[in-house]
Amino acid sequence: MTASIPVVVVFGSLHYDIIVKGPARPRKGETVTGSTWNPACGGKGGNQAVSAAKTGVRSAMIGAVGNDDFGGTLTANLAANAVELDHVRVIEGAASGMSVAIFDSEGDYGAVIVSGSNLQLGQTDVEQAAALFQAGNILVLQNEVPEQANVLAASAMKKAGGKVVLNAAPVRDLSPELAGLIDVLVVNAVEAEALAGGAEVDTLDDAIAAARVLAKLFPVAVVTAGGAGVAYATLDGEEATIPAIKIKLVSTHGAGDEFIGVLAAQLLRGDGIKAALSAANEAAAILVSSLR
């Protein structure tokens, strides 16, 4: 590794995904007949690291997999997409993380994750990846690993002079300790509703209102509102909305992770928040309108 080249450091989850497509997502007690299924490499962390790497920046993953077939597939996928995996730990006796995602005919989905080895991320991983925590680097976190692990990684990056981006998904209460280490918070409509007081987020006006509330707690707060677009507000009073790009939806799967990966890459390049968000918005639109 070349320490002098800035890097997007993704600390987080790796999941082996099983994707099922059907006419609708089943209700409680219901069985529906699906049309296809396929495996995919995922986990928010893994997806975001790959998305950042595809923009051409240096991208490094800090994560954990089990010594199993899923783990081997996940690490091979990172390598194939030019993500550095020196600090992806293989844990004997642990099962790799996995998920099952069920898509409906409109391209929306619901998922269940089983965290497995991701729950063992912690101090060992932060210490072993010490060389990645440097001024000029961007650390990306999600909520698919233990919060204390995120605190350790964020503390290391802030101490070194780098920046920290938290994609607060899936939503959970954030401790004051973690919240105080975040430079950029990114949430979707559901997460914004939970963290910004419960007001529904359906429109860009709703999104900017939620971003203003969250910007009282974070230097930069970004709220994505699906097909409406994205809004942000800063502690310094800067704010803007960016309308969604009109596309024909194929699948929403992975859109949020594509957005985060490109956002982190553009911030690493030195873009301001509005320019970085515009690039991320465009990348997500391309992804959701593409056959995969």
Going across the sheet that includes 239-243, the strands are: 83-91, 58-66, 7-11, 138-142, 163-167, 184-187, 220-224, 229-234, 239-243
Sorted by sequence, the CB contacts under 8 Å of residue 176 that are 6+ apart come out as: none
Q: What is the CATH number of domain 7-13+42-94+118-182+245-288?
A: 3.40.1190.20
In the numeric block, which tokens belong to residue 10? 């993704």
Q: Pick the closest to residue 264 from 73, 12, 41 (CA basis).
A: 12
Angle at 236 between CA 226 and CA 280, to 5 degrees: 30
In the numeric block, which tokens belong to residue 163? 């920046």
Q: Is position 271 annotated as part of the catalytic site? A: no
Instruction: Return per-residue pLDDT of the chain as tens, 292 residues.
Output: 445 799 999 999 999 999 999 999 998 999 999 999 999 999 999 999 999 999 999 999 999 999 999 999 999 999 999 999 999 999 999 999 999 989 898 878 888 889 999 999 999 999 999 999 999 999 999 999 999 999 999 999 999 999 999 999 999 999 999 999 999 999 999 999 999 988 899 999 999 999 999 999 999 999 999 888 999 999 999 999 999 887 776 666 678 899 999 999 999 999 999 999 999 999 988 877 776 5
The residue extents of the domains of the chain are 7-13+42-94+118-182+245-288
For tokens 């911030």, name the residue.
267
Rounded to whole angstroms, how far apart are CA atoms 168 and 287? 21
For tokens 């101490």, name the residue.
159
Question: Catalytic residue among 17, 68, 125, 257, which?
Answer: 257
pLDDT for the residue numbered 211: 98
Model pTM score: 0.92
The answer to whether residues 260 and 186 touch, using CB atoms and an 8 Å cutoff, is yes
